[in-house]
A and B are shown apart, each in its own frame.
Chain A
Amino acid sequence: MTARAGEYGFAAAFAALGAAVLAGAGSIPRPSAVSGIGPQVFPYIVGAVLLVSGLGVLAGISRGHAGAAEAGEDVDAEESVHWSVIIRLVLLIAAFGLLIGPTGWPVAATVLFVGAAWTLGAPRSWPSVLIGVVMAMAVQLVFGSALGLSLPPGPLLEWTGIG
């Protein structure tokens, strides 16, 4: 995917969402008991803002006003986008979501942390796994045990009474 195509696509998505909101707003039922303006009026405004600004961005890109990618302390603007890193991180977050039910927070969080750290270039060794376990357990103890949030400790820890 070229940068240009992606930029057109992203702006078109805003415009398309706007069109969809405009189309969908009409089908929000307006209960007869409601006086004043109904629940569909504000969505019409929102849809119009999205559609107009999306089209505006598209027109701007075609006239050469490309978006300036955000700069940052850790961002190398010269570097091209590494899509493989994005895909791996997305899969890791998805795995976290799937794991947290069956395995509890400590395991799911460790998988997410260690996987992300390795993806970003941390040494693939036991110390980085240890850092992940410590981080996950620290959150479990501080927020789960000390502050009383019901983070699931998971089957591995249930017998300890932590949670």
Chain B
Amino acid sequence: MDNLSLLLDGFAQALQPQYLIWAFIGVLVGTAVGVLPGIGPAMSIALLLPLTYTLDPTAALITFAGIYYGGMYGGSTTSILLNTPGESASVVTALEGHRMALAGRGAAALATTAIGSFVAGTIATIGLTFLAPTLSQWAVTLRPSDYFALMVIAFITVGALLGGSPIRGMAALGLGLFVGVIGTEGTSGQQRFTLGIPELGDGIDVVLVAVGLFAVGESLYVASRLRKGPISIVPVTGSFRTWMSREDFRRSWRPWLRGTVIGFPIGTIPAGGADVATFLSYGAERKLSKHKEEFGQGAIEGVAGPESANNAAAAGVLVPLLTLGLPTTATAAIMITALQSYGFRPGPQLMTSQSGLVWALIASLYIGNIMLLVLNLPLIGVWVKVLQVPRAYLYAGILLFAGFGAYATNFLVADVAILLLIGLIGFGMRLYGYPIAPLVIGAILGPMAEQQLRKSMLISQGDPTYLVTSPFAIAAYLSLIGILILGLWLRRRGGAPDEL
């Protein structure tokens, strides 16, 4: 098959020593930032965007993909071992995995997470390999109005389904769209909302938005109510070879596969990202388990399923990213920015015009998954040490890298001022319960959506019904309504996982 030979070419590329090293650095950095509270893959990739000035595109994207996958692995380690689990995507893992750790079975929880993530990541990457070429061939036939429909779906699902409050999500989205509007408009050359400040003429750099929100905003917020006292971590005992018993394997393999099957499709559609997938998987495992009484007390199925779903969804997110140029998570949105900084136009043409790059990236995902499996189990001692970094130095370090990321974008002091302002907005948003991701997606996807809207109106000569009358657009808007109803219903159930 043609795709298979392209994939083999990708492997030939990705297996070159320099790319292997970048993949290794990527998964290592990714796991470390995943383990560390306060930093995630979105922020790390945003901070490392200046790398795109000096690295070749393949090396940069392989590094970023490694960070993306690594962050997924690392995050679960934190929620299993740290005595104060966070409330983000890994809330379900925290529920069962943390109980397992407290019961002295932390090693089994970590092992089923790592192997499950590997299984799910690999199967989902195979799914990506076969789905992406077909999807991108079909996507070439889409009209501008169809793209606009897809973007509206992404905006509304991300805005309404992420975070606790849909209306606050829409407000955050609006702010992101506004940030995207600031600057010189491409088609007409008009200045919009620059207030006569020359530095705003080129718009606000996405790096500043992402770093300001994720790094500065997060640091300010954590600093304002920093948990005092020692960092308490559940100790892990035993050698990694004896971590999972035969019984653990017997109870884990079905949840791994089920999690993959649930996670991958949810990742490919813009339906609120990995959170929904983990909740669904947790609910399914709880229903199907023969050990229902263990759920809530540390059931291994409740770790194996959601963690696999989480990783499969992460790979699924790459499908619309590579075939449509449509980011559905904040991390994916920042990877789009990396592509743009090389002058590549994200969209269905990417698979053909940059086929070498895309296939090397896909091959590196397989390699990264193996590296992560090999790295994670034996190196758990290292990650436990990383988890114990004194928080004063951790957040000071995050601020230092934020300053670096902001300044290295354009080497302008004005950017540091913008960074600070965006950081304060991010602080307020966290304090008052506004989700951050819709803002980032709005800022990155907003200008693309405007382009598609204007193209559509140009084709239709100003007739707005053109936007909603193509068969694809009709199907898209109908499924948006379906996704919203389903998502809000799931959220009401997901908000209280004990009642699932």
Residues of chain A at the chain B interface (Cβ within 8 Å):
6-7, 10-11, 14, 17-18, 21, 24, 28-31, 34-39, 41-43, 45-47, 49-50, 52-54, 56-57, 60, 65-77, 79-83, 85-86, 89-90, 92-94, 96-98, 100-101, 105, 108-109, 112-122, 128, 131-132, 135-136, 139, 143, 147-152
Contacts and interface: CB of A to CB of B under 8 A. Distances in A.
B168 A67 contact: yes
B174 A149 contact: no
Nearest to B459: A36
A139 B225 CA distance: 29
Contacts of A37: 453-454, 457, 462
Interface string B223-262: 1111110000000000000000000000000000000000
B226 A65 contact: no
A96 B416 contact: yes
Contact of B431 (A18, A69, A109): A69
Interface on chain A toward B: helix, strand, loop, or mixed SS? helix
Contacts of B219: 89, 116
Interface stretch (B64-72, B116-124, B350-358, B421-429): B421-429
B286 interface: no
Interface stretch (B268-276, B307-315, B398-406): B398-406
B396 interface: yes
20 contacts: A6-B432, A35-B458, A39-B185, A43-B193, A49-B170, A52-B170, A65-B165, A67-B164, A72-B37, A72-B87, A72-B88, A94-B420, A97-B420, A105-B407, A108-B403, A112-B403, A113-B397, A116-B395, A120-B392, A149-B53
Contacts of A43: 181, 192-193
Contacts of A94: 416-417, 420
A6 B431 contact: yes
Contacts of B50: 143, 149
Interface in B33-54: 37-38, 50-51, 53-54
Contacts of A150: 411
A74 B55 CA distance: 34
A67 B393 contact: no
Interface stretch (B77-85, B320-328, B473-481): B77-85
Interface residues of B, number: 82
A21 B446 CA distance: 15
A109 B416 CA distance: 12
Contacts, number: 259
Contacts of A86: 220, 223-224, 427
Given A76-B226, A149-B54, 19 more contacts: A6-B431, A24-B193, A30-B190, A35-B458, A41-B454, A49-B173, A49-B174, A50-B174, A57-B167, A65-B165, A67-B433, A75-B225, A83-B224, A86-B220, A92-B399, A93-B419, A94-B420, A97-B416, A122-B393
B175 interface: yes
Contacts of A116: 219, 392, 395-396, 399-400
Given A76-B228, A89-B220, A34 B392 contact: no
Nearest to A108: B403
Interface of B: 37-38, 50-51, 53-55, 78, 82, 84-88, 164-165, 167-168, 170-171, 173-175, 177-178, 181, 185, 187-190, 192-193, 216, 219-228, 390-393, 395-397, 399-401, 403-404, 407-408, 411, 413, 416-417, 419-420, 423-424, 427-428, 430-434, 446, 450, 453-455, 457-458, 461-462
B211 to A, nearest CB: 12
Nearest to B217: A70
Given A39-B185, A75-B227, A80-B225, A57 B190 contact: no
Contacts of B38: 72-74
A46 B224 CA distance: 32
3 A-B pairs with the lowest CB-CB distances in the bound complex, closest first: A67-B433, A97-B416, A73-B37
Contacts of B403: 93, 96-97, 100, 108-109, 112
Given A17-B178, A72-B87, A100-B407, A67 B78 contact: no
Contacts of B433: 66-70
A78 B134 CA distance: 51
Given A36-B458, A46-B177, A113 B225 contact: no
B432 A120 contact: no
Given A71-B86, A97-B420, A143-B408, A31 B224 contact: no
Contact of A74 (B37, B189, B417): B37
B225 A77 contact: yes
A14 B425 CA distance: 11
A101 B415 CA distance: 13
A98 B413 contact: yes
Nearest to A67: B433
Contacts of A29: 190
A34 B188 contact: yes
Contact of A100 (B167, B192, B416): B416
